[in-house]
């Protein structure tokens, strides 16, 4: 997807110049993993024009394999973002209908070659929201992955502007039984999966653990749940904490105070990328969640949708104090 965004402090209706960033949830996760040294391929579909070429170049710039990137179809999905600042939130104009990817009706890849040598397949709930076809295709992909002994990672990523809670819930019921690693939080549990509302008197942490437990009971196949808690003080100032639920245990990262936020987009994907990196490199849970949250915090300090830091840089960021130069 192409994001066309204004410079901070300029309204879209007055902008004479827009920044062009390429991204999308799965692409951002792919780039994170490539930055951490993993071999990653990205499978999607882009049009046969300069914008499709730009997507390929963006991924190649970070070392993501693009041989499974299909070329064809009518257009590249785009959206316009008026950057938020202070009390004023960012605002978004979606223009993604009819994209080459959204209008796919078949899995155009050769699945055996797609899954050859692959450890993890990462998918997002936004894709399911694109069309009924994509809900079907996603399930097909998940099943094929399981058959090929590929782990399935899934980010619920619910967007209320794209589908209803009921639609999303119905899809999730069908999809989650195939999922191994799942990004989902208490809102997803309550509103999409319809688990009973927490009625305890506990802390917010108790409440979150409750929802993780409920989801775990519904989907015992899922080996790991994760999500972030984000306290939005303003569009420029957030406090971010990562949480993880694995083997019946709850883990929480230190909180990151992110101010100013340079670019909010992709913060969740950087978090998912960090979690998958932790899995692939067999980090202990606390280390995993600390890494993933730090990676997400770093993402907020750079322009663009994707994490641009190596594993070494993330680790050095964790060990250094906030904002101190070494020289």
Of residues 119-158, those binding a second copy (CB under 8 A): none
What are 141's two structure tokens? Answer: 């992909």
Nearest to 244 by CA among 189, 200, 299, 288: 288
Site for a second copy contains 57 (CB under 8 A)? yes
- Using CB under 8 A, pick the residue from 37, 63, 177, 285 that binds a second copy: 63
Residues 160-189 that bind a second copy (CB under 8 A): 160-161
- Using CB under 8 A, pick the residue from 11, 143, 197, 202 that binds a second copy: 11
Using CB atoms within 10 Å of the CB of residue 308, give its burial: 0 to 12 exposed, 13 to 18 middle, 19+ buried. middle
What are 183's two structure tokens? Answer: 């990004």
Q: Judged by CB, which is closer to a second copy: 221, or 236?
A: 236
Residues 277-306 that bind a second copy (CB under 8 A): 297-298, 300-304
Nearest to 102 by CA among 71, 124, 133: 133
Site for a second copy contains 18 (CB under 8 A)? yes
- Using CB under 8 A, pick the residue from 68, 71, 95, 136 that binds a second copy: 95
- Residue 14 Cβ vs a second copy, minimum distance, rounded to whole Å: 7
- Residue 130 Cβ vs a second copy, minimum distance, rounded to whole Å: 15
- Using CB under 8 A, pick the residue from 39, 72, 97, 196 that binds a second copy: 97
Q: Judged by CB, which is closer to a second copy: 124, or 238?
A: 238
What are 194's two structure tokens? Answer: 């319809």
Whole-angstrom Cα distance, residue 12 to residue 27? 26
Nearest to 153 by CA among 190, 194, 125, 192: 125
Q: Judged by CB, which is closer to a second copy: 160, or 196?
A: 160
**Which one of 59-67, 115-123, 173-181, 211-219 is the stretch in contact with a second copy (CB under 8 A)?**
59-67
Whole-angstrom Cα distance, residue 223 to residue 228? 17
Angle at 150 between CA 59 and CA 166, to 5 degrees: 85
Binding residue count for a second copy, defined by CB under 8 A: 82
132: CB partners within 8 A, 6+ apart: none
Q: Judged by CB, which is closer to a second copy: 264, or 277?
A: 264
Residues 248-277 that bind a second copy (CB under 8 A): 256-264
Q: Judged by CB, which is closer to a second copy: 81, or 179?
A: 81
How remote is the C-alpha of 198 from its chain's centroid?
26
Task: Please say whether the beta carbons of 289 and 226 come within 8 A.
Answer: yes
- Using CB under 8 A, pick the residue from 3, 38, 75, 122 that binds a second copy: 75
Residues 193-252 that bind a second copy (CB under 8 A): 232-238
- Using CB under 8 A, pick the residue from 62, 109, 115, 250 that binds a second copy: 62
Task: Please say whether the beta carbons of 12 and 37 come within 8 A.
Answer: no
DSSP 304: S
């Amino acid at each position: 997807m192409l994001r066309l965004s204004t410079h901070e402090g300029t309204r879209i209706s007055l902008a004479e110049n827009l920044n062009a960033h390429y991204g999308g949830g799965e692409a951002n996760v792919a780039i994170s993993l490539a930055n951490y040294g993993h071999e990653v391929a990205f499978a999607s579909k882009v049009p046969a024009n300069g914008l499709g070429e730009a997507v390929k170049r963006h991924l190649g710039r970070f070392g993501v394999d693009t041989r499974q990137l299909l070329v064809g179809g009518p257009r590249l999905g785009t959206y316009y973002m008026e950057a938020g600042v202070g009390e004023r939130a960012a605002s978004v104009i979606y223009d993604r209908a009819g994209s080459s990817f959204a209008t796919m009706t078949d899995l155009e890849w050769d699945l055996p070659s797609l899954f050859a040598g692959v450890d993890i397949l990462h998918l997002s709930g936004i894709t399911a929201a694109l069309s009924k076809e994509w809900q079907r295709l996603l399930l097909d992909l998940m099943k094929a992955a399981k058959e090929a002994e590929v782990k399935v990672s899934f980010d619920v990523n619910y967007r209320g502007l794209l589908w209803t809670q009921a639609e999303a819930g119905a899809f999730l019921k069908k999809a989650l039984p195939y999922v191994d690693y799942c990004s989902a939080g208490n809102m997803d549990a309550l509103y999409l999966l319809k688990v009973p509302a927490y009625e305890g008197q506990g802390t917010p942490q108790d409440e979150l653990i409750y929802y993780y437990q409920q989801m775990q009971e519904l989907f015992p196949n899922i080996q790991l749940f994760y999500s972030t808690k984000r306290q939005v003080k303003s569009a420029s100032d957030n406090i971010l904490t990562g949480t993880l639920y694995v083997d019946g245990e709850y883990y929480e990262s230190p909180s990151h105070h992110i101010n100013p936020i340079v670019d909010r987009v992709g913060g969740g994907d950087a978090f998912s990328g960090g979690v998958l990196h932790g899995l692939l490199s067999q980090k202990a849970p606390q280390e995993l969640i600390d890494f993933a949250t730090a990676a997400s915090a770093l993402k907020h300090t750079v322009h663009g949708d994707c994490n641009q830091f190596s594993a070494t840089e993330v680790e050095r960021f964790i060990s250094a104090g906030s904002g101190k130069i070494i020289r």
